[in-house]
A and B are shown apart, each in its own frame.
Chain A
Protein backbone atom coordinates (compact mmCIF):
# COMPACT_ATOMS: atom_id res chain seq x y z
CA UNK A 1 0.00 0.00 0.00
CA UNK A 2 1.03 3.54 0.09
CA UNK A 3 1.26 6.01 -2.66
CA UNK A 4 3.33 5.53 -5.74
CA UNK A 5 5.41 8.23 -7.32
CA UNK A 6 3.73 11.51 -7.71
CA UNK A 7 4.60 11.74 -11.39
CA UNK A 8 1.24 12.23 -12.96
CA UNK A 9 0.22 13.68 -16.27
CA UNK A 10 -3.28 15.01 -16.02
CA UNK A 11 -5.42 17.40 -17.90
CA UNK A 12 -8.24 19.19 -16.18
CA UNK A 13 -10.86 20.26 -18.64
CA UNK A 14 -13.23 23.11 -17.95
CA UNK A 15 -16.15 22.34 -15.70
CA UNK A 16 -18.55 24.30 -17.83
CA UNK A 17 -18.29 22.12 -20.87
CA UNK A 18 -15.75 21.18 -23.47
CA UNK A 19 -12.99 23.52 -24.35
CA UNK A 20 -12.98 25.26 -27.63
CA UNK A 21 -9.27 24.75 -28.18
CA UNK A 22 -7.44 21.62 -29.16
CA UNK A 23 -4.76 21.08 -26.55
CA UNK A 24 -2.17 18.51 -27.40
CA UNK A 25 -0.92 16.34 -24.57
CA UNK A 26 2.71 16.94 -23.93
CA UNK A 27 5.23 14.48 -22.64
CA UNK A 28 5.90 15.57 -19.09
CA UNK A 29 9.64 15.13 -19.47
CA UNK A 30 9.88 17.76 -22.17
CA UNK A 31 10.89 21.11 -20.77
CA UNK A 32 9.48 24.26 -22.26
CA UNK A 33 10.56 24.32 -25.86
CA UNK A 34 9.51 27.83 -26.60
CA UNK A 35 12.46 30.06 -27.05
CA UNK A 36 11.90 33.61 -25.98
CA UNK A 37 12.27 36.11 -28.77
CA UNK A 38 14.30 38.23 -26.42
CA UNK A 39 15.46 37.85 -22.88
CA UNK A 40 13.60 40.95 -21.82
CA UNK A 41 9.99 40.95 -20.81
CA UNK A 42 7.58 42.49 -23.21
CA UNK A 43 5.39 44.54 -20.94
CA UNK A 44 3.43 46.76 -23.27
CA UNK A 45 0.27 48.13 -21.79
CA UNK A 46 -2.34 49.17 -24.27
CA UNK A 47 -4.57 52.09 -23.55
CA UNK A 48 -8.17 51.28 -22.94
CA UNK A 49 -8.05 47.71 -24.12
CA UNK A 50 -6.75 45.98 -21.05
CA UNK A 51 -3.21 44.88 -20.42
CA UNK A 52 -1.29 43.04 -23.04
CA UNK A 53 0.33 40.55 -20.75
CA UNK A 54 3.90 39.48 -20.96
CA UNK A 55 5.04 36.78 -23.38
CA UNK A 56 8.30 34.96 -23.78
CA UNK A 57 10.46 34.43 -20.77
CA UNK A 58 8.85 35.87 -17.68
CA UNK A 59 10.37 37.31 -14.55
CA UNK A 60 9.41 34.69 -11.95
CA UNK A 61 9.08 37.37 -9.29
CA UNK A 62 6.55 39.43 -11.17
CA UNK A 63 2.82 39.00 -11.02
CA UNK A 64 1.99 37.34 -14.35
CA UNK A 65 4.02 34.23 -13.53
CA UNK A 66 2.86 34.31 -9.95
CA UNK A 67 -0.83 34.39 -10.87
CA UNK A 68 -0.45 31.47 -13.25
CA UNK A 69 1.46 29.53 -10.59
CA UNK A 70 -1.30 30.13 -8.07
CA UNK A 71 -3.69 28.35 -10.42
CA UNK A 72 -1.41 25.32 -10.24
CA UNK A 73 -1.72 25.41 -6.44
CA UNK A 74 -5.51 25.35 -6.73
CA UNK A 75 -5.30 22.50 -9.19
CA UNK A 76 -3.06 20.44 -6.91
CA UNK A 77 -5.46 20.98 -4.01
CA UNK A 78 -8.49 19.89 -6.03
CA UNK A 79 -6.68 16.68 -6.93
CA UNK A 80 -4.77 15.89 -3.75
CA UNK A 81 -6.12 18.16 -1.03
CA UNK A 82 -7.59 16.51 2.03
CA UNK A 83 -8.01 17.14 5.75
CA UNK A 84 -4.34 16.16 6.07
CA UNK A 85 -2.82 17.34 2.84
CA UNK A 86 -2.68 20.83 1.39
CA UNK A 87 -0.38 22.62 -1.03
CA UNK A 88 0.88 26.16 -0.99
CA UNK A 89 2.77 28.00 -3.67
CA UNK A 90 6.30 28.59 -2.48
CA UNK A 91 8.20 30.08 -5.37
CA UNK A 92 8.12 30.38 -9.11
CA UNK A 93 11.48 29.10 -10.31
CA UNK A 94 11.02 29.88 -13.98
CA UNK A 95 8.20 30.75 -16.35
CA UNK A 96 7.48 31.39 -19.99
CA UNK A 97 4.26 32.32 -21.73
CA UNK A 98 3.07 32.19 -25.31
CA UNK A 99 -0.07 33.11 -27.17
CA UNK A 100 -1.81 30.18 -28.79
CA UNK A 101 -3.18 31.83 -31.93
CA UNK A 102 -6.28 33.68 -30.78
CA UNK A 103 -7.48 30.92 -28.52
CA UNK A 104 -5.66 31.92 -25.37
CA UNK A 105 -2.32 32.04 -23.60
CA UNK A 106 -0.30 29.18 -22.23
CA UNK A 107 2.18 29.40 -19.38
CA UNK A 108 4.97 26.93 -18.73
CA UNK A 109 6.10 26.96 -15.14
CA UNK A 110 8.64 25.44 -12.85
CA UNK A 111 7.45 25.99 -9.33
CA UNK A 112 8.31 25.01 -5.82
CA UNK A 113 5.22 23.70 -4.05
CA UNK A 114 4.97 23.36 -0.31
CA UNK A 115 2.95 20.56 1.23
CA UNK A 116 1.96 22.47 4.28
CA UNK A 117 1.07 19.78 6.80
CA UNK A 118 4.16 17.64 6.39
CA UNK A 119 6.18 20.79 5.68
CA UNK A 120 7.82 19.35 2.60
CA UNK A 121 8.78 21.33 -0.45
CA UNK A 122 9.10 19.95 -3.91
CA UNK A 123 9.50 21.04 -7.48
CA UNK A 124 6.69 20.78 -9.98
CA UNK A 125 6.46 21.39 -13.71
CA UNK A 126 3.18 22.73 -14.92
CA UNK A 127 1.32 24.19 -17.83
CA UNK A 128 -1.59 26.56 -17.43
CA UNK A 129 -3.75 27.52 -20.38
CA UNK A 130 -6.07 30.53 -20.04
CA UNK A 131 -8.67 30.39 -22.82
CA UNK A 132 -9.90 33.57 -24.50
CA UNK A 133 -13.38 34.47 -25.50
CA UNK A 134 -16.86 34.71 -24.06
CA UNK A 135 -18.22 33.17 -22.00
CA UNK A 136 -15.00 32.80 -20.02
CA UNK A 137 -13.86 29.23 -19.84
CA UNK A 138 -11.87 28.01 -16.85
CA UNK A 139 -8.14 27.56 -17.04
CA UNK A 140 -6.71 24.18 -18.00
CA UNK A 141 -3.83 22.81 -15.97
CA UNK A 142 -1.31 20.03 -16.25
CA UNK A 143 1.18 19.40 -13.50
CA UNK A 144 3.73 16.91 -12.38
CA UNK A 145 5.69 16.99 -9.18
CA UNK A 146 8.88 15.29 -8.09
CA UNK A 147 8.10 13.55 -4.88
CA UNK A 148 5.88 10.90 -3.41
CA UNK A 149 2.71 12.01 -1.72
CA UNK A 150 2.87 11.53 2.01
CA UNK A 151 0.71 8.71 3.23
CA UNK A 152 -2.20 10.23 5.13
CA UNK A 153 -4.56 7.27 4.99
CA UNK A 154 -4.60 6.40 8.69
CA UNK A 155 -5.42 9.90 9.81
CA UNK A 156 -8.05 10.34 7.13
CA UNK A 157 -9.72 7.05 8.04
CA UNK A 158 -9.79 7.99 11.71
CA UNK A 159 -11.38 11.35 10.97
CA UNK A 160 -13.84 9.78 8.57
CA UNK A 161 -14.93 7.12 11.04
CA UNK A 162 -15.33 9.67 13.78
CA UNK A 163 -17.70 11.82 11.78
CA UNK A 164 -19.42 9.10 9.81
CA UNK A 165 -21.38 8.00 12.83
CA UNK A 166 -23.76 10.93 12.36
CA UNK A 167 -24.44 11.17 16.07
CA UNK A 168 -23.10 14.67 16.29
CA UNK A 169 -22.94 16.51 13.01
CA UNK A 170 -20.21 19.06 12.69
CA UNK A 171 -21.25 22.68 12.67
CA UNK A 172 -18.85 25.58 12.95
CA UNK A 173 -18.35 29.15 11.87
CA UNK A 174 -15.54 31.62 11.31
CA UNK A 175 -12.53 29.44 10.79
CA UNK A 176 -9.99 30.89 11.43
CA UNK A 177 -11.44 33.28 14.00
CA UNK A 178 -10.63 36.99 14.05
CA UNK A 179 -7.39 36.39 15.92
CA UNK A 180 -6.35 33.88 13.25
CA UNK A 181 -6.73 30.96 15.61
CA UNK A 182 -8.22 27.55 14.84
CA UNK A 183 -9.20 24.95 17.41
CA UNK A 184 -7.17 21.75 16.95
CA UNK A 185 -10.37 19.75 16.28
CA UNK A 186 -11.27 22.10 13.47
CA UNK A 187 -7.89 22.06 11.71
CA UNK A 188 -8.70 19.11 9.45
CA UNK A 189 -11.93 20.82 8.42
CA UNK A 190 -10.13 24.02 7.67
CA UNK A 191 -7.77 22.10 5.40
CA UNK A 192 -10.71 20.29 3.85
CA UNK A 193 -12.48 23.60 3.26
CA UNK A 194 -9.46 25.03 1.49
CA UNK A 195 -9.30 21.93 -0.69
CA UNK A 196 -12.98 22.21 -1.53
CA UNK A 197 -12.73 25.96 -2.16
CA UNK A 198 -9.90 25.23 -4.56
CA UNK A 199 -12.49 23.92 -6.99
CA UNK A 200 -14.09 27.36 -7.01
CA UNK A 201 -10.78 29.17 -7.17
CA UNK A 202 -9.55 26.97 -10.00
CA UNK A 203 -12.77 27.53 -11.91
CA UNK A 204 -12.74 31.28 -11.43
CA UNK A 205 -9.05 32.00 -11.98
CA UNK A 206 -7.87 34.12 -14.88
CA UNK A 207 -4.72 36.08 -15.65
CA UNK A 208 -6.36 38.94 -13.77
CA UNK A 209 -7.09 37.22 -10.48
CA UNK A 210 -5.16 35.79 -7.54
CA UNK A 211 -7.36 33.81 -5.16
CA UNK A 212 -6.86 32.66 -1.61
CA UNK A 213 -9.40 31.44 0.87
CA UNK A 214 -9.98 34.17 3.44
CA UNK A 215 -12.25 32.43 5.93
CA UNK A 216 -14.78 29.66 6.33
CA UNK A 217 -17.85 31.64 7.33
CA UNK A 218 -19.93 28.56 7.98
CA UNK A 219 -19.56 24.80 7.63
CA UNK A 220 -22.30 22.34 8.48
CA UNK A 221 -22.21 18.60 8.14
CA UNK A 222 -25.33 17.15 6.56
CA UNK A 223 -26.85 13.76 7.13
CA UNK A 224 -26.38 11.45 4.20
CA UNK A 225 -27.01 7.80 3.35
CA UNK A 226 -24.02 7.57 1.06
CA UNK A 227 -20.46 6.71 2.07
CA UNK A 228 -19.05 10.19 1.94
CA UNK A 229 -19.23 12.88 4.55
CA UNK A 230 -21.30 15.76 3.23
CA UNK A 231 -20.99 19.45 4.01
CA UNK A 232 -22.84 22.64 3.29
CA UNK A 233 -20.71 25.73 3.60
CA UNK A 234 -20.22 29.43 3.05
CA UNK A 235 -16.69 30.22 1.95
CA UNK A 236 -15.18 33.69 1.83
CA UNK A 237 -12.58 33.98 -0.90
CA UNK A 238 -10.17 36.86 -1.38
CA UNK A 239 -9.07 38.04 -4.82
CA UNK A 240 -5.83 39.96 -4.39
CA UNK A 241 -6.15 41.80 -7.70
CA UNK A 242 -9.58 43.35 -7.14
CA UNK A 243 -9.24 43.10 -3.34
CA UNK A 244 -12.81 41.82 -3.23
CA UNK A 245 -14.15 39.25 -0.83
CA UNK A 246 -16.31 36.79 -2.75
CA UNK A 247 -19.02 34.82 -0.97
CA UNK A 248 -19.61 31.29 -2.22
CA UNK A 249 -22.06 28.65 -1.10
CA UNK A 250 -20.41 25.28 -1.52
CA UNK A 251 -21.94 21.84 -1.14
CA UNK A 252 -19.32 19.11 -1.15
CA UNK A 253 -18.50 15.61 -0.06
CA UNK A 254 -15.35 13.91 1.15
CA UNK A 255 -14.14 10.44 1.95
CA UNK A 256 -10.66 8.96 2.19
CA UNK A 257 -11.32 6.82 -0.87
CA UNK A 258 -13.15 9.40 -2.98
CA UNK A 259 -11.38 12.60 -2.05
CA UNK A 260 -13.20 15.93 -2.31
CA UNK A 261 -16.14 16.22 -4.68
CA UNK A 262 -18.13 19.37 -5.26
CA UNK A 263 -21.88 18.97 -5.72
CA UNK A 264 -22.92 22.58 -5.98
CA UNK A 265 -21.19 25.90 -5.95
CA UNK A 266 -22.85 29.26 -6.19
CA UNK A 267 -21.64 32.77 -5.69
CA UNK A 268 -23.88 34.95 -3.53
CA UNK A 269 -23.86 38.75 -3.38
CA UNK A 270 -21.83 40.30 -0.60
CA UNK A 271 -23.54 42.66 1.81
CA UNK A 272 -22.44 46.24 1.07
CA UNK A 273 -21.88 47.23 4.62
Chain B
Protein backbone atom coordinates (compact mmCIF):
# COMPACT_ATOMS: atom_id res chain seq x y z
CA UNK B 1 0.00 0.00 0.00
CA UNK B 2 2.93 2.26 0.72
CA UNK B 3 4.20 1.89 -2.82
CA UNK B 4 0.88 3.12 -4.12
CA UNK B 5 1.00 6.10 -1.76
CA UNK B 6 -2.09 4.87 0.01
CA UNK B 7 -1.89 5.95 3.60
CA UNK B 8 -2.99 3.33 6.05
CA UNK B 9 -3.28 2.72 9.71
CA UNK B 10 -2.97 -0.62 11.40
CA UNK B 11 -6.04 -1.32 13.48
CA UNK B 12 -4.82 -4.45 15.17
CA UNK B 13 -1.09 -5.08 15.21
CA UNK B 14 -1.24 -8.77 15.62
CA UNK B 15 -4.64 -10.33 15.43
CA UNK B 16 -3.23 -13.73 16.31
CA UNK B 17 -1.89 -12.30 19.58
CA UNK B 18 -5.32 -10.89 20.43
CA UNK B 19 -6.92 -14.25 19.74
CA UNK B 20 -4.26 -16.05 21.76
CA UNK B 21 -4.89 -13.72 24.69
CA UNK B 22 -8.60 -14.36 24.55
CA UNK B 23 -8.06 -18.09 24.36
CA UNK B 24 -5.75 -17.98 27.37
CA UNK B 25 -8.29 -16.04 29.36
CA UNK B 26 -11.10 -18.38 28.45
CA UNK B 27 -9.04 -21.36 29.50
CA UNK B 28 -8.14 -19.74 32.82
CA UNK B 29 -11.77 -19.00 33.55
CA UNK B 30 -12.81 -22.50 32.62
CA UNK B 31 -10.32 -23.91 35.12
CA UNK B 32 -11.47 -21.67 37.99
CA UNK B 33 -14.51 -22.56 40.04
CA UNK B 34 -17.39 -20.75 38.40
CA UNK B 35 -19.96 -19.31 40.80
CA UNK B 36 -23.44 -20.48 39.93
CA UNK B 37 -25.14 -17.34 41.13
CA UNK B 38 -24.48 -13.99 42.78
CA UNK B 39 -24.89 -15.58 46.23
CA UNK B 40 -21.87 -17.79 45.77
CA UNK B 41 -19.86 -15.10 43.99
CA UNK B 42 -16.71 -14.18 45.90
CA UNK B 43 -16.91 -10.45 46.67
CA UNK B 44 -13.56 -10.51 48.48
CA UNK B 45 -11.52 -11.24 45.42
CA UNK B 46 -10.58 -9.25 42.35
CA UNK B 47 -12.17 -10.77 39.26
CA UNK B 48 -11.27 -11.19 35.62
CA UNK B 49 -13.20 -9.39 32.94
CA UNK B 50 -15.10 -12.50 31.91
CA UNK B 51 -16.07 -13.14 35.54
CA UNK B 52 -17.46 -9.62 35.72
CA UNK B 53 -19.43 -10.11 32.51
CA UNK B 54 -20.84 -13.34 33.99
CA UNK B 55 -21.73 -11.56 37.21
CA UNK B 56 -23.68 -8.92 35.32
CA UNK B 57 -25.60 -11.53 33.37
CA UNK B 58 -26.36 -13.55 36.50
CA UNK B 59 -27.52 -10.50 38.45
CA UNK B 60 -29.92 -9.49 35.68
CA UNK B 61 -31.19 -13.04 35.30
CA UNK B 62 -31.79 -13.38 39.04
CA UNK B 63 -33.58 -10.04 39.32
CA UNK B 64 -35.60 -9.63 36.15
CA UNK B 65 -37.97 -7.12 37.71
CA UNK B 66 -35.23 -4.82 38.87
CA UNK B 67 -32.10 -5.25 36.77
CA UNK B 68 -31.44 -5.00 33.05
CA UNK B 69 -28.01 -5.48 31.49
CA UNK B 70 -27.70 -2.91 28.72
CA UNK B 71 -25.03 -2.64 26.05
CA UNK B 72 -24.24 0.99 25.29
CA UNK B 73 -21.38 0.50 22.85
CA UNK B 74 -18.14 -1.31 22.14
CA UNK B 75 -14.62 -0.79 23.32
CA UNK B 76 -11.73 -0.12 20.95
CA UNK B 77 -11.17 -3.85 20.64
CA UNK B 78 -14.84 -4.60 20.23
CA UNK B 79 -15.72 -5.68 23.74
CA UNK B 80 -19.24 -4.90 24.95
CA UNK B 81 -19.69 -1.87 27.19
CA UNK B 82 -22.32 -2.96 29.71
CA UNK B 83 -24.43 -0.80 31.95
CA UNK B 84 -26.67 -2.29 34.63
CA UNK B 85 -29.99 -0.49 34.89
CA UNK B 86 -31.79 -0.71 38.22
CA UNK B 87 -35.41 0.34 37.84
CA UNK B 88 -38.72 -0.32 39.51
CA UNK B 89 -40.67 0.99 36.59
CA UNK B 90 -41.77 4.26 35.07
CA UNK B 91 -40.57 5.77 31.85
CA UNK B 92 -37.29 7.60 31.67
CA UNK B 93 -37.31 8.45 35.35
CA UNK B 94 -34.87 10.86 36.90
CA UNK B 95 -31.71 8.80 37.24
CA UNK B 96 -28.36 8.43 38.91
CA UNK B 97 -25.25 7.44 36.97
CA UNK B 98 -22.38 5.62 38.70
CA UNK B 99 -19.25 4.37 36.98
CA UNK B 100 -16.17 2.42 37.98
CA UNK B 101 -13.19 0.98 36.12
CA UNK B 102 -12.37 3.93 33.84
CA UNK B 103 -8.68 3.54 34.69
CA UNK B 104 -7.56 -0.03 34.27
CA UNK B 105 -5.24 -0.41 37.27
CA UNK B 106 -7.76 0.92 39.79
CA UNK B 107 -9.04 -2.57 40.55
CA UNK B 108 -10.78 -1.62 43.79
CA UNK B 109 -13.27 0.40 41.74
CA UNK B 110 -14.88 -2.35 39.62
CA UNK B 111 -14.63 -4.61 42.66
CA UNK B 112 -16.70 -2.07 44.57
CA UNK B 113 -18.99 -1.65 41.59
CA UNK B 114 -19.81 -5.36 41.72
CA UNK B 115 -20.50 -5.07 45.44
CA UNK B 116 -22.75 -2.01 44.92
CA UNK B 117 -24.73 -3.89 42.29
CA UNK B 118 -25.38 -6.74 44.68
CA UNK B 119 -26.10 -4.31 47.51
CA UNK B 120 -28.77 -2.55 45.50
CA UNK B 121 -30.72 -5.72 44.74
CA UNK B 122 -30.30 -6.95 48.31
CA UNK B 123 -31.36 -3.74 49.99
CA UNK B 124 -34.30 -2.80 47.81
CA UNK B 125 -37.29 -3.44 50.01
CA UNK B 126 -35.09 -3.65 53.12
CA UNK B 127 -33.31 -0.33 53.43
CA UNK B 128 -35.89 2.50 53.53
CA UNK B 129 -33.48 5.06 52.09
CA UNK B 130 -32.53 2.98 49.08
CA UNK B 131 -36.10 1.80 48.61
CA UNK B 132 -37.36 5.39 48.45
CA UNK B 133 -34.66 6.23 45.95
CA UNK B 134 -35.49 3.33 43.66
CA UNK B 135 -39.22 3.88 43.93
CA UNK B 136 -38.80 7.23 42.19
CA UNK B 137 -35.49 7.11 40.38
CA UNK B 138 -33.41 4.73 38.30
CA UNK B 139 -29.76 3.86 38.89
CA UNK B 140 -27.33 3.18 36.05
CA UNK B 141 -24.08 1.46 36.94
CA UNK B 142 -21.25 0.87 34.48
CA UNK B 143 -18.80 -1.41 36.24
CA UNK B 144 -16.01 -1.58 33.64
CA UNK B 145 -15.78 1.49 31.42
CA UNK B 146 -12.42 0.31 30.10
CA UNK B 147 -12.59 -3.46 29.50
CA UNK B 148 -9.59 -3.58 27.14
CA UNK B 149 -7.39 -1.84 29.70
CA UNK B 150 -8.73 -3.98 32.52
CA UNK B 151 -7.99 -7.18 30.61
CA UNK B 152 -4.49 -5.87 29.95
CA UNK B 153 -3.85 -5.41 33.66
CA UNK B 154 -4.61 -9.09 34.11
CA UNK B 155 -2.66 -10.46 31.17
CA UNK B 156 0.34 -8.16 30.88
CA UNK B 157 0.82 -5.03 32.97
CA UNK B 158 -0.91 -4.64 36.32
CA UNK B 159 -0.18 -0.90 36.36
CA UNK B 160 -1.71 0.02 32.99
CA UNK B 161 -4.05 3.03 33.14
CA UNK B 162 -5.33 4.01 29.74
CA UNK B 163 -7.41 2.21 27.11
CA UNK B 164 -5.67 0.08 24.47
CA UNK B 165 -6.13 2.29 21.47
CA UNK B 166 -3.24 2.07 19.00
CA UNK B 167 -2.04 5.61 18.34
CA UNK B 168 -0.85 6.44 14.83
CA UNK B 169 2.86 6.85 14.11
CA UNK B 170 4.03 5.77 17.55
CA UNK B 171 4.60 2.65 19.61
CA UNK B 172 2.86 4.26 22.53
CA UNK B 173 -0.57 2.79 23.17
CA UNK B 174 -3.62 4.20 24.84
CA UNK B 175 -5.65 7.28 25.65
CA UNK B 176 -6.49 8.44 29.16
CA UNK B 177 -10.25 8.07 29.19
CA UNK B 178 -10.60 10.67 31.92
CA UNK B 179 -8.93 13.36 29.82
CA UNK B 180 -10.97 12.64 26.70
CA UNK B 181 -14.24 14.36 27.62
CA UNK B 182 -15.39 17.65 26.17
CA UNK B 183 -14.64 19.79 29.21
CA UNK B 184 -11.67 22.06 28.72
CA UNK B 185 -10.43 19.36 26.34
CA UNK B 186 -6.74 19.69 25.54
CA UNK B 187 -6.10 22.54 27.97
CA UNK B 188 -3.72 22.42 30.93
CA UNK B 189 -4.16 19.28 32.95
CA UNK B 190 -3.78 16.72 30.18
CA UNK B 191 -1.01 15.71 27.83
CA UNK B 192 -0.84 15.87 24.05
CA UNK B 193 1.86 13.21 24.05
CA UNK B 194 0.52 9.73 23.27
CA UNK B 195 3.28 8.22 25.41
CA UNK B 196 1.97 10.01 28.48
CA UNK B 197 -0.33 8.44 31.05
CA UNK B 198 -2.61 11.46 30.75
CA UNK B 199 -2.75 11.62 26.94
CA UNK B 200 -6.08 13.19 26.06
CA UNK B 201 -6.46 11.61 22.62
CA UNK B 202 -6.81 13.29 19.23
CA UNK B 203 -10.22 14.89 19.86
CA UNK B 204 -12.81 15.21 22.58
CA UNK B 205 -14.71 11.90 22.90
CA UNK B 206 -12.58 10.30 20.19
CA UNK B 207 -12.63 7.15 22.31
CA UNK B 208 -15.63 4.85 21.96
CA UNK B 209 -15.56 4.12 25.70
CA UNK B 210 -16.20 7.80 26.34
CA UNK B 211 -18.46 8.56 23.41
CA UNK B 212 -20.83 5.75 24.28
CA UNK B 213 -21.43 7.20 27.76
CA UNK B 214 -21.76 10.72 26.39
CA UNK B 215 -24.36 9.57 23.85
CA UNK B 216 -26.21 7.54 26.47
CA UNK B 217 -26.37 10.40 28.98
CA UNK B 218 -27.44 12.97 26.38
CA UNK B 219 -30.07 10.69 24.88
CA UNK B 220 -31.45 9.80 28.29
CA UNK B 221 -31.71 13.45 29.15
CA UNK B 222 -32.87 12.94 32.73
CA UNK B 223 -29.74 12.06 34.65
CA UNK B 224 -29.54 14.09 37.86
CA UNK B 225 -26.37 12.77 39.51
CA UNK B 226 -23.15 11.58 37.88
CA UNK B 227 -20.62 9.80 40.07
CA UNK B 228 -17.30 8.57 38.74
CA UNK B 229 -15.21 6.30 40.94
CA UNK B 230 -11.42 6.06 40.91
CA UNK B 231 -8.60 5.11 43.22
CA UNK B 232 -6.49 5.95 45.14
CA UNK B 233 -6.19 8.84 47.67
CA UNK B 234 -9.38 8.82 49.75
CA UNK B 235 -10.97 11.90 48.28
CA UNK B 236 -14.45 13.04 47.34
CA UNK B 237 -14.35 15.82 44.79
CA UNK B 238 -16.69 18.01 42.77
CA UNK B 239 -16.07 20.14 39.65
CA UNK B 240 -14.01 21.68 38.35
CA UNK B 241 -10.71 20.11 37.43
CA UNK B 242 -10.01 22.13 34.31
CA UNK B 243 -10.51 25.61 35.73
CA UNK B 244 -10.17 27.51 39.00
CA UNK B 245 -13.56 29.13 38.44
CA UNK B 246 -15.77 27.75 41.18
CA UNK B 247 -18.78 25.71 40.15
CA UNK B 248 -21.88 27.85 40.63
CA UNK B 249 -23.27 25.23 43.02
CA UNK B 250 -20.03 24.93 44.92
CA UNK B 251 -21.47 25.76 48.33
CA UNK B 252 -24.13 23.06 48.10
CA UNK B 253 -21.75 20.52 46.57
CA UNK B 254 -19.26 21.20 49.34
CA UNK B 255 -21.86 20.78 52.10
CA UNK B 256 -23.10 17.54 50.58
CA UNK B 257 -19.54 16.28 50.18
CA UNK B 258 -18.86 16.96 53.85
CA UNK B 259 -21.96 15.02 54.85
CA UNK B 260 -21.06 12.15 52.51
CA UNK B 261 -17.52 11.75 53.85
CA UNK B 262 -18.75 11.98 57.41
CA UNK B 263 -21.13 9.12 56.69
CA UNK B 264 -18.35 7.19 54.95
CA UNK B 265 -16.03 7.66 57.93
CA UNK B 266 -18.68 6.55 60.42
CA UNK B 267 -18.18 2.90 59.56
CA UNK B 268 -14.44 2.23 59.92
CA UNK B 269 -13.02 5.66 60.70
CA UNK B 270 -11.61 6.06 57.19
CA UNK B 271 -10.63 9.67 56.63
CA UNK B 272 -11.50 11.36 53.35
CA UNK B 273 -10.63 14.87 52.22
CA UNK B 274 -13.03 16.73 49.96
CA UNK B 275 -13.15 19.77 47.72
CA UNK B 276 -12.96 20.75 44.08
CA UNK B 277 -10.70 18.63 41.89
CA UNK B 278 -8.37 21.47 41.02
CA UNK B 279 -7.66 22.48 44.58
CA UNK B 280 -7.68 19.06 46.17
CA UNK B 281 -5.55 16.98 43.84
CA UNK B 282 -4.40 18.77 40.68
CA UNK B 283 -5.54 20.57 37.57
CA UNK B 284 -6.99 18.09 35.10
CA UNK B 285 -8.86 18.78 31.89
CA UNK B 286 -11.23 16.68 29.81
CA UNK B 287 -12.61 14.90 32.87
CA UNK B 288 -15.97 13.17 33.03
CA UNK B 289 -17.57 14.97 35.95
CA UNK B 290 -16.66 18.42 34.62
CA UNK B 291 -18.40 17.42 31.42
CA UNK B 292 -21.42 16.08 33.27
CA UNK B 293 -21.69 19.22 35.39
CA UNK B 294 -21.49 21.47 32.35
CA UNK B 295 -24.30 19.40 30.83
CA UNK B 296 -26.44 20.54 33.74
CA UNK B 297 -26.04 17.52 36.00
CA UNK B 298 -25.65 19.30 39.29
CA UNK B 299 -24.63 16.43 41.57
CA UNK B 300 -21.43 15.48 39.80
CA UNK B 301 -18.82 13.89 42.01
CA UNK B 302 -15.69 11.85 41.74
CA UNK B 303 -14.35 9.51 44.41
CA UNK B 304 -10.78 8.38 44.92
CA UNK B 305 -11.08 5.26 47.07
CA UNK B 306 -8.61 3.61 49.49
CA UNK B 307 -5.82 3.92 50.32
CA UNK B 308 -3.51 6.95 50.55
CA UNK B 309 -0.41 5.37 49.07
CA UNK B 310 0.73 2.50 51.24
CA UNK B 311 -0.71 -0.08 48.84
CA UNK B 312 -1.99 2.38 46.25
CA UNK B 313 -3.37 0.56 43.25
CA UNK B 314 -2.51 -2.83 44.76
CA UNK B 315 -5.05 -2.66 47.56
CA UNK B 316 -5.31 -6.04 49.30
CA UNK B 317 -8.41 -7.97 48.31
CA UNK B 318 -9.29 -8.23 52.00
CA UNK B 319 -10.14 -4.53 51.84
CA UNK B 320 -12.65 -4.84 49.00
CA UNK B 321 -15.68 -5.39 51.19
CA UNK B 322 -14.86 -2.77 53.88
CA UNK B 323 -14.06 -0.23 51.17
CA UNK B 324 -17.31 -0.96 49.36
CA UNK B 325 -19.35 -0.83 52.58
CA UNK B 326 -18.07 2.56 53.63
CA UNK B 327 -18.21 4.04 50.12
CA UNK B 328 -21.78 2.86 49.76
CA UNK B 329 -22.79 5.08 52.69
CA UNK B 330 -21.42 8.13 50.89
CA UNK B 331 -23.06 7.13 47.62
CA UNK B 332 -26.37 6.62 49.34
CA UNK B 333 -26.13 10.06 50.95
CA UNK B 334 -25.56 11.67 47.56
CA UNK B 335 -28.38 9.71 45.95
CA UNK B 336 -30.71 10.54 48.81
CA UNK B 337 -29.96 14.23 48.45
CA UNK B 338 -30.56 13.98 44.71
CA UNK B 339 -33.94 12.44 45.45
CA UNK B 340 -34.96 15.00 48.04
CA UNK B 341 -33.57 18.12 46.36
CA UNK B 342 -34.85 17.77 42.84
CA UNK B 343 -33.94 20.31 40.24
Contacts and interface: CB of A to CB of B under 8 A. Distances in A.
A213 B308 CA distance: 11
B308 A89 contact: yes
Interface in B311-325: 311-317, 319
A213 B312 CA distance: 8
A89 B271 CA distance: 12
A20 B273 CA distance: 36
Interface stretch (B154-162, B208-216, B293-301): B154-162
B156 A180 contact: no
Interface in B269-326: 271, 273-275, 279-283, 308-317, 319
A88 B310 contact: yes
B316 A180 contact: yes
Given A178-B158, A179-B45, A244-B197, A63 B279 contact: yes
A182 B310 CA distance: 13
B159 A215 contact: yes
Contacts of A238: 159, 312-313
A51 B282 CA distance: 11
Contact of A272 (B172, B280, B309, B315): B172
B interface: dominant SS: loop
Interface residues of B, number: 40
A242 B176 CA distance: 12
A151 B2 CA distance: 70
B53 interface: no
Contacts of A177: 314
A13 interface: no
Interface residues of A, number: 35
B43 interface: no
A45 B317 CA distance: 40
B159 A61 contact: no
A245 interface: yes
Contacts of A215: 158-159, 314
A179 B317 contact: yes
Given A179-B316, A245-B159, A272-B171, A43 B279 contact: yes
Contact of A214 (B198, B233, B244, B313): B313
Nearest to B310: A88
A212 B45 contact: no
Interface in A142-195: 174, 176-182
Contact of B311 (A45, A59, A180, A242): A180
A240 interface: yes
A182 B315 CA distance: 11
B131 to A, nearest CB: 34
A61 B244 CA distance: 16
A242 B314 contact: no
Interface in A50-69: 51, 59, 61-63
Contacts of B313: 214, 238
27 contacts: A43-B244, A43-B279, A45-B244, A61-B273, A61-B275, A62-B279, A62-B280, A63-B279, A63-B280, A70-B309, A89-B308, A89-B309, A177-B314, A178-B107, A178-B314, A179-B46, A179-B317, A180-B46, A180-B316, A180-B317, A212-B312, A214-B313, A214-B314, A238-B159, A243-B176, A272-B171, A273-B156
Given A51-B283, A176-B311, 14 more contacts: A70-B309, A116-B310, A180-B315, A180-B319, A212-B309, A212-B312, A214-B314, A215-B159, A238-B313, A242-B196, A243-B176, A245-B159, A272-B171, A273-B157
Interface of B: 45-46, 107, 153-154, 156-159, 161, 171-173, 176, 195-198, 233, 244, 271, 273-275, 279-283, 308-317, 319
